[in-house]
Amino acid sequence: MKKIISAALLTLAVGGASAQAYVGGAIGVTNANIACAGTTKCDKTDTGFKLYGGYTVTEGFAVEAGYLDLGQNTASVGVVNLDFKTQAVFLAGAARGEFTPELGGTLRLGVAGVKTSGRAGAASIGTVVSDSDTKYKAYVGLALDYAFTKNVKGVVAADFTTAEVADEAMAVRMFSIGAQYSF
């Protein structure tokens, strides 16, 4: 029994030696795949940002949590204006590989609590209908990073999930550039 406990403690100690925490942030362009047919004005893109933190469990695998602001989108049908904002909180597993000592890539797979807040109204009478809902959706992220130093990386990334507006699902994505700092 002592040998099993010793082996378990040694495994945890070795695994803990490779563990490393990191934080990151990025800013970029967002796009929502909204149906614009029949609208007089339709804006599918905006600026968004991402904040995240992670913990490297083993070489090549980490657990991450973060926040995505996926921007605000608008559409007009006659005199009625529709606005909605999409935000998400995610939890993901991150598989990482290195192509060179400086260049690496990450694939994130997880779940996101996607909150979409929307309102509809006419300029002459103000907001008529307002609604907000959170749904849990699949989350996928892809990133390439370049290590400037041991602790600082530049990152380009793409994040994908799905949002719902009035029970209509739409793909939302963000293409961003940012930085990551490892402790």
Q: Is residue 9 part of a domain?
A: no
The model's pLDDT over 51-60, given as tens digits with 9 standing for 90+, comes to 999 999 998 9
Backbone angles phi and psi of 17, in degrees to 5? -65, -30
Q: Is residue 178 part of a domain?
A: yes
Q: Which domain holds residue 108?
A: 20-182
pTM for this one? Answer: 0.81
Say what the pLDDT of residue 8 is. 44
More confident residue, 90 or 34: 90
Q: The tokens of 40 are what?
A: 């007089």
Contacts of 57 (CB under 8 A, 6+ apart): 15, 19, 63
Distance between CA atoms of residues 177 and 70, nearest Å = 14
Distance between CA atoms of residues 100 and 112, nearest Å = 31
Are 152 and 180 in contact by the 8 Å Cβ rule? The answer is yes
Q: Is residue 15 part of a domain?
A: no
pLDDT level of residue 13 (50, 70, 90 thresholds): very low
CATH label of the domain that carries residue 68: 2.40.160.20
What residue has token string 């006659």?
A: 78
Number of domains in the chain: 1
Are 59 and 18 in contact by the 8 Å Cβ rule? The answer is yes
The model's pLDDT over 125-146, given as tens digits with 9 standing for 90+, comes to 666 777 888 999 999 999 999 9
Q: Is residue 140 part of a domain?
A: yes
Is 80 exceeded by the pLDDT of residue 112?
yes
Q: Is residue 8 part of a domain?
A: no
| Residue (of 11, 91, 103, 101) closest to 58 by Cα position | 11
Q: Is residue 7 part of a domain?
A: no
Angle at 142 between CA 15 and CA 43, to 5 degrees: 145
Distance between CA atoms of residues 154 and 30, nearest Å = 19
Q: Is residue 71 part of a domain?
A: yes
Residue 139 amino acid letter: Y
Are 179 and 156 in contact by the 8 Å Cβ rule? The answer is no
CA 15 to chain CA centroid, Å, is 27
